[in-house]
Amino acid sequence: MTEALEVEEGVARASRAEYGSDYIVELMSELGIEQAAFNPGASFRGIHDSIVNFEGSKIGVVECCHEEVAVAVAHGYAKAAGKPMAAILHDVVGLQHATMAIFNAWVDRVPVYVLGGTGPMDASRRRPWIEWIHTANIQGSLVRDYTKFDDQPAGIRAVPESMLRAWRTMMAEPKGPVYVNFDVDIQEERAPEGLVIPDSDMLARTTRVAPDPQAIRQIARWLLEAENPVIITQWLGRDPQTVPALVELAELVGCPVVAGEQRLSFPTTHGLNMSGGERQVLGEADFILALDVWDLQRTMYQLNPATRELDSIQRPGSKLAVIGLSDLILRSWAHDFQALYPADINVVADTALAVPMLVEELSRQMSPGHQEAARKRSEAITERRRRMREEWRRQAASESGNSPVSVGYLTQQVWERIKGTDWVLAYHSHNPWPMRLWDFTHPGQYASYGGGGGVGYGIGGTAGVALAHRGSGKLIVDLQADGDLLYCTSALWTIAQQKLPVLMVMHNNRSYYNSEEHAQRMAQWRGRPMERSGIGTQLADPAVDFGAVARGFGLWGEGPITDPQQVGPAIDRALKVVTEQGTAALVDVVTAPR
């Protein structure tokens, strides 16, 4: 690529690199990368030096104590900032540490720009022992099954092609992580004459995938013909601009929306939001429109977790239309693509384009009769939603005397103290209560979902969200699970070192409770002792003092709290530390399992 380009205004400019790693950092800056998270390693010492010392570098360093944390930081940052940052990994061992976090980003469809070092590939230049065990043949093969692209350029002039193609592939919808690694010789040798920095706008940008207009017309007709249409979505909120279009679509048709927690795709304050009541509305629906739903089976069926039997909740004879991009990012190794599900029409398209087109088409086709039917449906659904939220609030409040503390009551207590602030929920594990009790009005308030189900994402992802919002005045909230924090506790050091103001409130059930539930189901199903379900699942002997853990990393920490009446005052004290001192604070609350 570099030989095909000459220095020309608007096309390419001359590189100022002294070494190969300087050139890599110049290209990172050209792509707009502002932060790089890593745990240091000798295989990318050249890149490390260039980030810190090269005159042209403006990239900030986020030091982490584990590679899984580094990738999780970049994962959370990308969702909160709306743009990627880099995570840099030390050759074979660092990449192996990071594999779970890369898989999380893959399943969450989040762009993480993963870079690494290797080599020397020229075996005659390797240091004895260490550079032999830390060098792999095709290093990217370790993560190829859950990245969109991987490459290892063989020479310095191949670096722009590799880095820009990785960026372009990563940013094309559906997005996902990529991996590019560099031989140490490429990084550490003197840069040759004539290197240029290509214009990334010309080489790394693409447009979106538009829908078939005929399919949009058909879906609009079905929506208008239906007596009980329903919209379901999981990932639509990945593009915040699409959420207002979905609100307009739902209001136009007068139909309920069932939104998963993968993204904030529909305001929880809206009367047409029937998330939490999906069984009822899907059972009534004669037409269902699925927008960015990767796992239709999970939405359309009720699962018996002990026997794995599935019972459909979809109304017999109802029509289903699907719009999304799930067919465009598949690997045969990890079956995260989910089960095939029959649909009357399957439209491969970006919902950011399809939903506004559908709104326009509906506006053309709607008659006064359609408008009146939509109005009546909206009124009925809004009343159902009001009753549903009132019942959730009543239930949470009624558990104010429970010890261990009710997760619903804890979530309500946090909400009462943050609702007047400019807040962002960075993580909430499997806690369903924020979506029930908190007023989410726009996608920027939510960055919680971790992707691949790998325990350990939450605290690193929270650090990334806080990094993205540093200096903004936003209050970053982490409803932190105990098991998740124990996987990557060292992320607390990164939060402290970066001086990230985060309010961490733990729902600490002293258990890997998902596994404990499975143990209970197995025992019950097989007629065995239920009281032994805590063996190998509970974290109570010894119980971890997370307040002390936080203080050990230089943060403010309090707890463990078992008295529900002490929860609110403790959160008040932590919130004061976060807002007045600009640092993180952790409140450890011992909670009931659910």
CATH topology of domain 400-590: Rossmann fold (3.40.50)
Query: 542-555, pLDDT tens digit by residue?
Result: 999 999 999 999 99
Bridge partners of 87, per DSSP, are: 37, 114
Name the CATH architecture for the domain at 12-203: 3-Layer(aba) Sandwich (3.40)
Tens digits of per-residue pLDDT, 212-269?
999 999 999 999 999 999 999 999 999 999 999 999 999 999 999 999 999 999 999 9
pLDDT at 454: 81
* Residue 390: half-sphere exposure toward Cβ, Cα within 13 Å: 7
- Please report, for residues 47, 167, 202, 553, the alpha-carbon distance to residue 199 in angstroms, rounded to integers and kept in the order given: 21, 13, 6, 43
Nearest to 549 by CA among 480, 499, 461: 480
pLDDT the model gives residue 515: 92
pLDDT at 304: 79
Contact 506, 586 (CB under 8 A): yes
Fold match flag (12-203 vs 213-388): yes
pLDDT tier at 309, thresholds 50, 70, 90? confident
Calculate Rg over the CA atoms of the chain. Answer: 25
| pLDDT computed for residue 7 by the predictor | 60
Looking at the predicted structure, is the pLDDT value of residue 310 above 90?
A: no
Instruction: Give mean pLDDT, residues 190-210.
Output: 93
What percent of the chain lies above the pLDDT cut of 90?
85
What residues does 511 pair with on adjacent strands? 538
Average pLDDT over all residues of the chain:
94
Nearest by Cα to 20 from 3, 45, 42, 39: 45
Q: Pull the structure tokens for residue 175.
A: 């997005």
Q: How confident is the model at residue 56 (pLDDT cuts 50, 70, 90)?
A: confident
pLDDT tops 80 at residue 440: yes
Q: Determine the topology of domain 213-388 in CATH.
A: Rossmann fold (3.40.50)
Q: Region 433-447: what's the mean pLDDT?
A: 97
pLDDT tens for each residue of 261-302:
999 999 999 999 999 998 899 999 999 999 999 999 888 888
Q: Do residues 136 and 490 lie in contact, with contact meaning Cβ atoms separated by under 8 Å? A: no
Q: Mean per-residue pLDDT for 189-194? A: 96
pLDDT score recorded for residue 6? 62
pLDDT of 10 over the 70 cut: no
> Residue 111: its pLDDT value, please?
98
Q: Percent of the chain having pLDDT more than 70?
A: 98
SS (H, E, C) 31-64: CCCCEEEECCCHHHHHHHHHHHHCCCCCCEEEEC
Ranking 83-97, 154-168, 311-325, 565-579 by mean pLDDT, the lowest is: 311-325
pLDDT digits (tens, 9 = 90+) for 377-387: 999 999 999 99
pTM score: 0.96
Per residue in 519-542, pLDDT tens?
A: 998 999 899 999 999 999 999 999
By the 8 A CB rule, do 418 and 473 touch? no
Segments making up each domain of the chain, as ranges: 12-203, 213-388, 400-590
